[in-house]
Structure 1
Amino acid sequence: MTTLRGSCDPGFDHVRAALQRRLDDGDEIGASLVVDLDGHRAVDLRGGFRDAGRTSPWDEHTITNVWSCTKMVTALAALVLVDRGELDLDAPVARYWPEFAAHGKGGVEVRHLLSHTSGVSGLEPPATLEDFYDVRGAAARMAAQEPWWTPGTASGYHVLTYGHLIGELVVRTTGRSLTRFVADEIAEPLGADFRIGVPEADRPRVAPIVPPSGSDVADGADPGPPSVDGPAAKTFAAGAAPTDANTPQWQRAELGAVNGHGNAGSLARILSVVARGGEVDGIRLLGPRTVERILEPQADGTDLVLGIPLRWGIGFGLPQRRTLPWLPDGRIAFWGGWGGSMVVLDLDRRMTISYVMNRMSPGIIGSERSAEYVAAVYDAVTS
Structure 2
Amino acid sequence: MSEVHGTVAAGFESVREEFASVLADEARDGGAQLAVYHRGRRVVDLWGGEDVDGDALLALYSCSKGAVALVVALLVQDGALDLDREVASWWPEFAAEGKGALTLRELLAHRAGAIAVEGGFTLEELADDRGVAARLAAHRPYWEPGTGHGYHGHTFGALVGEVVVRATGRTVREHYEERIRVPYGVDYHLGLPEELEPRFRTVLPMRPTPEEQALLDAHPVAPDSLLSIAFGLHGDPPLDMVAYGNSRALRAGAPLSGGGVGSARGLARMYAAMAGELDGRAPLLKPETLAEFSRVHSEGTDLVTGNPNAFALGFIPLALRHPELGAGAVGHSGAPGSQAFAEPARSLAYTYARRRFAVFGGPGPSSARPATASVRTSPARS
Give the structure-2-normalised TM-score. Answer: 0.87
CA deviations over 1:197-234 (Å, ceiling 9, x no partner): 3122111100111121259xxxx9x8832x71x43232
Question: Could you say which residue in structure 2 is the equivalent of 1:302?
Answer: 301
Matched, 1:116 2:87: no
Amino acid at match of 1:297: V
Partner of 1:377: 374
Whole-Å Cα distance in 1 between the matches of residues 157 and 197 of structure 2? 22
Q: How many residues align?
A: 366
- Check 1:148–1:251 CA distance in 2 against 1; reply closer, same or farther (3 A cut): same
Alignment of 1:270-349 (within 5 A): 270-276=270-276, 281-282=280-281, 285-319=284-318, 321=320, 324=321, 328=325, 330-349=327-346
Kept after mapping to 2: 8 A contact 1:30/1:48: yes
Query: Whole-Å Cα distance in 2 between the matches of residues 266 and 153 of structure 1?
Result: 37
- State the match for 1:63 in structure 2: 57
SS at match of 1:61: coil
CA distance in 2, matches of 1:280, 1:18: 28
Q: How big is the shift at 1:2?
A: 4.2
Tell me how far 1:148 sits from its aligned partner.
1.2
Q: What whole-Å deviation, never above 9, does each CA across 1:233-278 have from its counterpart, x for those lacking one? A: 321226232133112222222310111011111111112233228x
Residue matched to 1:235 = 230
Residue deviations 1:135-157 (CA, integer Å, cap 9, x gap):
22221111111221122222210
On the 8 A contact 2:129/2:256 being kept in 1, the answer is: no
Q: What's the counterpart of residue 129 of structure 2?
A: 135
Amino acid paired to 1:255: P
Structure 2 equivalent of residue 352 of structure 1: 349
- Counterpart-to-counterpart distance in 2, 1:156 and 1:250: 24
Counterpart residue number, 2:263: 263
- Specify the alignment match of 2:183 in structure 1: 189
Distance 1:356 1:234 in 2: 27
Do the aligned residues in 2 keep the contact of 1:343 with 1:352 (CA within 8 Å)? yes
Secondary structure of 1:43 counterpart = strand
Distance 1:139 1:24 in 2: 43
Q: Distance in 2 between matches of 1:180 and 1:223?
A: 41
| Larger helix proportion of the pair | 2
Give 1:62-211 correspondences, 5 Å limit. Answer: 62-211=56-205
What SS class does the counterpart of residue 373 from structure 1 fall into?
helix
Closer, same or farther: CA 240–109 of 1 in aligned 2, 3 Å: farther
- Percent identity between matched residues is 33
The residue aligned with 1:41 is 42
Q: CA deviation at 1:328?
A: 4.4
Gaps of at least 5 residues in structure 2 are 210-215
Q: Flag the 1:117–1:331 CA change in 2: closer, same or farther, 3 A.
A: same
- Partner SS state of residue 116, structure 2: coil
Residues in 2 aligned to 1:382 and 1:355: alpha-carbon distance in whole angstroms: 20
How far apart, CA to CA, are the structure 2 residues paired with 1:292 and 1:22? Answer: 33
Give the superposition deviation at 1:382. Answer: 6.3
Counterparts of 2:290 and 2:322, CA distance in 1: 25
Residue identity opposite 2:360 in structure 1: G
Q: CA deviation at 1:67?
A: 0.7
Is there any run of 5+ residues in structure 1 with no aligned partner, and where? 51-57
